[in-house]
Structures are given as structure tokens and as C-alpha cells.
Amino acid sequence: MDVLSRNNVVVTGRADGRAVVLAHGFGCDQNLWRLVAPRLEPEFRVVLFDYVGSGGSDLSAWSAERYGTLDGYARDAVEVCEALDLRGAVFVGHSVSAMVGVLAAAALPERIDALAMVTPSPRYIDDEGYRGGFSTADIDELLESLDSNYLGWSAAMAPVIMGNPERPELGKELENAFCATDPVIAGVFARTTFLSDNRADLPSVAIPTLVVECAEDAIAPREVGAYVHAAIPGSRLVTLDATGHCPQLSAPQATADAIAAFARGLA
């Protein structure tokens, strides 16, 4: 199967620019980067794609076995980078894709030179000495609600994830993205996202890394950003004056500026 078609790959921007790969999070697709990509295109080669099971990807390529762990999503990212023969790329992962980027970079050190993590979380569930933002009971309830009434769950959770209640159109856009995803696929991706624990992978990241957090985020509180920053040697932490878990929609200029400044500063 052609990877570029399978993952609905779109390449824009400067053909001779450093590649910036924009990876979406759970329940979304590449469309959520549409306000950031044009701000990067004058300077960089911008690569957009959908994980199998999301957006315009080839749904026939999806399997619960492959996409039941983050390794399956990392394989998608790896195969996209290989299909485009990328070198020196910056992998920008939103939310769970930040950890996908960690796995992909470990597998492709010759192609991915740097990571930009946008509102990352290596573990969503609280643990001893660690605050992820959710209790085990919270996540169990979230997953049960998703399984029993996915459309209702989408309508209830999208505004919480997005924040910015004074801008309800943002929450509605995220809700629409959730609702466009097959509920079975969404259920598998949700478990992969909310039950993963990638804390042990962070200290081994040996490439330049940017951690982008929001001043207020109900899904990845600032303790998580501080944890990721402390766990990755030499990483840089940027706190956006923004609210919610999706600054690429709520604060696209600030998000693009942070990514561009980081990519621009790489050797």
C-alpha cells in the first residue's frame, strides 16, 4: 500500500526548507493544524498526515492490533518520514503525538533531528509523586462513557479539552472532529492514549526538544509540562499565554512562532 495515500500525506511550503512534520492527537486529523501550517510555509517544508483511522486516511489499513499501542502510530510516522525520504526533520506532536514522536525519533535518528511537543503528557493518570491530571477512576469513567455513547461523550468532552468557553466555536470544531471518527477506532485510540505510560522513555531523548504548554490546560496541567521538561535532558520549556489543550486552534500565531523559533535555531 502506498504510504502517502494511506496516511493522506500533504506537503506544502518551501521545497528546500527544513521539514516540519505536524502530527495530530487523539480524535483529530491534520485539519487541526490548518491555522499553523500557513504560518510555517514561507520558511519550512510542512508535512501533514493523518494516522490510519483518522481523517482522510485509508480506513481499510486499520487494525485494533496495530493501533492498540502507541508503537502502531509511531510506525505510521516512521513510514511517512521514510516515504518522503526526510532528513533533519522536526517532528511536532500534539498531545499524545508528542510521545509518538519520542518513539519515532528513537527509531529514525537519521531522519528526525528534533522534537517539538505541544501540550504533551507521558501519563494521564496520577501516580505516586506524579500528577497526570486524572485518577484511575476518572479515566475508567471517561472510557466507559465513550463506549456507551460516543456522540454524547464528544459533545461533553470537546469543550473541556478545548477550553476557551467564550469561544464555543472552537469546542464545536473539536466535537465535529471527534464525531467524524469511527466510534470503534476512537475507542481503541482512546485506550491507547489515556492508558499509556511513556515516562521511562523521556530520559533517553537525546535530540533537541521543545516542550510547549498552555498557561491553563485541563488535560495536561502545568505540572506535566514541568515533568516532561525536567525528564528530557537539555529540553526547552515554553508556556504560551493560552488556554486549553489545543493551542494550534486557540492561539495559532503563538504556537507557530514557538515552533518556528525552535526550528530556526537548530544547527
Annotated catalytic residue within 29, 76, 113, 217 = 217
97 in catalytic set: no
**Whole-angstrom Cα distance, residue 47 to residue 84?**
9
Strands 112-118 and 209-216: parallel
CA gap 8, 162 in Å, rounded: 25
Q: How far apart are CA 83 and CA 219, in angstroms?
A: 33
> CB within 8 A of 264, min separation 6: which ones?
43
Q: Give, for 58, the enclosing helix (H) or strand (E).
A: none
Cα–Cα distances in Å, from 186 out to 55, 81, 113, 153? 12, 24, 30, 11
The residue from 95, 196, 235, 250 that is catalytic is 95
According to DSSP, the residues that pair with 47 across neighbouring strands are 11, 21
Question: Rounded to whole angstroms, how far apart are CA atoms 144 and 241?
Answer: 33
Q: Clarify whether 94 is annotated catalytic.
A: no
Q: For the chain, what is the radius of gyration of the CA atoms?
A: 17
Question: Is 217 a catalytic site residue?
Answer: yes
Q: Which of 24, 94, 229, 245 is catalytic?
A: 245
Catalytically annotated residues? 95, 217, 245
